[in-house]
């Protein structure tokens, strides 16, 4: 579709990377009184390629949301009160080459949040999410990373970040590191609040919560049913009902009954060495671009 300037403005967008702390950050921002996130968190509007879950669960080869109007996108923020900063988090935006241009065509002055994690660990975590949570991955990790490029291509942060730097000034992009979230969550939030120019309001009770931790689902059918219900409500522009269901805790209860906490086994040495070599050049280039020592990733 041809992008036209939107008749409304969103202030920020989280572009990924998946399994790098985006859910933690989104949940902390959502609790801020001056910030409102889209419903749902991941709108997936500016990407042309579908998220991997859509390909596996629904057999999609392209993103149908890209054909929808900007009004459809705007409807995801209908619950947001006037005066609040509004934004969304769609991790697929990082690795989709068309997303930076599509975002810029509508919101050239937007602020961008990017969470980064050791790409080796990120790829392994991503694999286990599709194996244990979505229950669509049945190959070994070694086979999967050879046959499904998305698992490892997502971790080429320097490559993807350069696509954004074509359209956005470096000052518009805030990098958040997964290690810093774990070690200094308060400092991370303060820096993000400064970047977004909102007050420093932090809830210490939620600061150290680790959202979206490793888990295994008992039934893929339940996962798909919950996802389909959410999509149907949103498609019917019933975001308010979607939000009520979430606030009542119905979705959380169903998912809790369906899940089993499951930490993945250690990655084998050969796979780790392969990935370290795969990412070596990209990490070195990213380190130079950001003027940050990332040798611990290697």
pLDDT tens for the chain, 298 residues long, are: 444 455 789 999 999 999 999 999 999 999 999 999 998 899 999 999 999 888 887 788 999 999 999 999 999 998 899 999 999 999 999 999 999 999 999 999 999 999 999 999 999 999 999 998 888 899 999 999 999 999 999 999 999 999 999 999 999 999 999 999 999 999 999 999 999 999 999 988 888 877 665 555 555 566 556 666 766 666 666 666 666 766 666 566 555 555 566 678 999 999 999 999 999 999 999 999 999 999 999 9
Whole-number pLDDT of residue 58: 79
Domain contains 245: no
3-state SS record for 195-219:
HHCCCCCCCHHHHCCCCCCCEEECC
Alpha helix segments (H runs only) across 129-238: 141-147, 150-153, 157-165, 178-183, 185-196, 204-207, 220-235
Whole-number pLDDT of residue 2: 43
User: Would you say 39 and 76 are in contact if contact means Cβ atoms under 8 Å apart?
Assistant: yes
Domain contains 234: no
Whole-number pLDDT of residue 221: 63
Whole-number pLDDT of residue 8: 86
- Alpha carbon dihedral 200, 204, 116, 27, in 10-degree steps, equals -90
Domain contains 222: no
Domain contains 90: yes
Look at the chain and report how many structural domains it folds into: 1
Q: Which of 94, 31, 57 is nearest to 228 (CA)?
A: 57
Domain contains 298: no
Domain contains 282: yes
CA distance 241 to 251: 12
Whole-number pLDDT of residue 291: 97
> Token pair of 61, please?
């080869």
* Residues in CB range of 184: below 8 A, 6 or more apart: none
Domain contains 230: no
Give the residues across from 112 on adjacent strands: 13, 173
Reduce the DSSP state of residue 181 to 3 states and report it. helix
Domain contains 38: yes
Residue 97: CATH number of its domain: 3.40.50.300
Look up the pTM and report it.
0.85
Which structural domain range is residue 285 located in? 12-214+262-291
């Amino acid at each position: 579709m041809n992008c036209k300037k939107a008749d409304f403005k969103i202030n920020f967008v989280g572009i990924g990377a998946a399994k790098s702390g985006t859910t933690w950050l989104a949940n902390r921002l959502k609790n801020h009184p001056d910030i409102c996130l889209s419903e749902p968190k991941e709108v997936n509007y500016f990407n042309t390629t579908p998220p991997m879950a859509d390909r596996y669960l629904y057999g999609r080869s392209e993103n149908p949301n890209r054909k929808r109007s900007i009004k459809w996108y705007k409807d995801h923020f209908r619950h947001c009160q006037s005066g609040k900063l509004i934004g969304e988090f769609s991790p697929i935006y990082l690795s989709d080459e068309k997303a930076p241009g599509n975002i810029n065509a509508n919101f050239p002055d937007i602020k961008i949040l990017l969470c980064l994690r050791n790409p080796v660990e990120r790829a392994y975590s991503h694999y286990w999410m599709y194996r244990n949570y979505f229950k669509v991955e049945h190959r070994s990790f070694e086979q999967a990373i050879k046959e499904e490029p998305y698992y490892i291509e997502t971790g080429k942060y320097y490559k993807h970040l350069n696509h954004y730097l074509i359209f956005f000034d470096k000052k518009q992009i805030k990098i958040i590191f997964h290690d810093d979230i774990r070690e200094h969550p308060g400092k991370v939030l303060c820096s993000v609040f400064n970047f977004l120019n909102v007050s420093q309001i932090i809830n210490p009770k939620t600061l150290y919560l680790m959202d979206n931790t490793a888990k295994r689902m008992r039934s893929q059918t339940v996962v798909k049913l919950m996802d389909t219900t959410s999509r149907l409500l949103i498609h019917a522009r019933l975001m308010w009902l979607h939000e009520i269901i979430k606030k009542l805790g119905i979705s959380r209860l169903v998912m809790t009954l369906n899940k089993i906490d499951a930490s993945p086994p250690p990655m084998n040495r050969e796979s780790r060495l392969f990935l370290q070599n795969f990412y070596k050049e990209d990490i070195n280039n990213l380190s130079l671009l950001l003027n940050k020592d990332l040798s611990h990733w290697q």
